[in-house]
Amino acid sequence: MHIHSSISALRAALGNRGRIVFVPTMGNLHAGHISLMEQARAHGDTVVASIFVNRLQFGPNEDFDQYPRTFQADCDKLAAAGVDVLFAPTEADLYPEPQAYFIEPPAIQNVLDGEFRPGHFRGVATVVAKLFNCVQPQAALFGKKDYQQLLVIRNMARQLALPIDIVGGETVRAEDGLALSSRNGYLSAAERVEAPRLYRLLTGIRDAIRDGNSNFAALEAEAIAELATAGWNTDYIAVRQQTDLAPPQDRNAPLAVLAASRLGTTRLIDNIEV
């Protein structure tokens, strides 16, 4: 695996490598990321990963400084997964001057996670657009665990006519259902035992909807109440249309249930398609 930190070295290295498929990450890689790397192989000739902890997408009280940085272990995992090229820029490489031009997503950036993390999707969209310009891929993979992020990127690529296929990868879960996430490492042993409750509640809501229950507000409220009893502090549990994350309007629209809740100091997000 070749590792590049400068944009010019990366571009020179990718000049003649066929169809390029790209998997951007912030490192601290787990089996969910590795699954994306393995799926990537089917979408191109050269698999490029990136590791960059993007300051722009963290709020002032979020975990940018604490975010786990495990570069050597990540490189070993990427090489073992058959990744061809790793782009690992420093902040000086990617933001040599303060970033003053941004990708401003529309209203979708202010709902669900966006309501609780103002500016987050603007920071994500901006860095992904910039990484796309560095790597110039023909396809890019994003995990469905970050459902809203996937939609923001997919819409951005379509609206800006970027010649990149945006592919969503299924969420990888631990045996007890907990979605794999870099932030799971923040959980205490007791919290780790409690954490799968979130996914159990999401599957319960999905099953109720499949059985014909369309009282979404009641389903959401019941789940939030159970989480509160178990010591969670919930930002949202929401039944939404898959295509635009709006509250369900069309009876036939495919739905997803999305959640963000805090267990101790760890904010977990998850979702399930109905």
CB of 27 to ligand PAF, least distance (A): 8
Catalytic annotation, pick one of 2, 4, 30, 33: 33
Rounded to whole angstroms, the Cα distance separating 7 from 198 reads 40
Q: Between 152 and 238, whose beta carbon lies closer to ligand PAF?
A: 152
Q: Between 87 and 216, whose beta carbon lies closer to ligand PAF?
A: 87
Binding mask 121-150 for ligand PAF (x = CB under 6 A): ---x--xx-----------------x--x-
What residues are paired with 137 via a beta bridge? none
From 21-29, 37-45, 65-73, 253-261, span contacting ligand PAF (CB under 6 A): 21-29
Asked if 54 is part of the footprint of ligand PAF (rule: CB under 6 A), the reply reads yes
Return the SS3 of 169: strand
Give 210-240 as a 3 state SS string: HCCCCCHHHHHHHHHHHHHHCCEEEEEEEEE
From 23-31, 109-117, 205-213, 216-224, span contacting ligand PAF (CB under 6 A): 23-31
Rounded to whole angstroms, the Cα distance separating 163 from 165 reads 7
Q: Between 34 and 223, whose beta carbon lies closer to ligand PAF?
A: 34
Asked if 25 is part of the footprint of ligand PAF (rule: CB under 6 A), the reply reads yes
Rounded to whole angstroms, the Cα distance separating 45 from 61 reads 40
Quickly list H helices, 68-196. 71-80, 91-94, 113-116, 120-135, 147-159, 189-194
Asked if 86 is part of the footprint of ligand PAF (rule: CB under 6 A), the reply reads no
Contacts of 9 (CB under 8 A, 6+ apart): none
User: Residues touching ligand PAF: how many (CB under 6 A)?
Assistant: 10
CB of 35 to ligand PAF, least distance (A): 14
Query: 232 to each of 44, 61, 122, how far by Cα in Å?
Result: 42, 19, 28
Return the SS3 of 67: coil
Rounded to whole angstroms, the Cα distance separating 108 from 244 reads 8
Asked if 26 is part of the footprint of ligand PAF (rule: CB under 6 A), the reply reads yes
Q: Between 154 and 222, whose beta carbon lies closer to ligand PAF?
A: 154
Active site residue 43: no
CB of 54 to ligand PAF, least distance (A): 4
Q: Between 141 and 208, whose beta carbon lies closer to ligand PAF?
A: 141
134 and 8 in contact (C-beta within 8 Å)?
A: no
**Catalytic sites, residue numbers:** 33
Residues that bind ligand PAF (CB under 6 A): 24-26, 54, 57, 124, 127-128, 146, 149
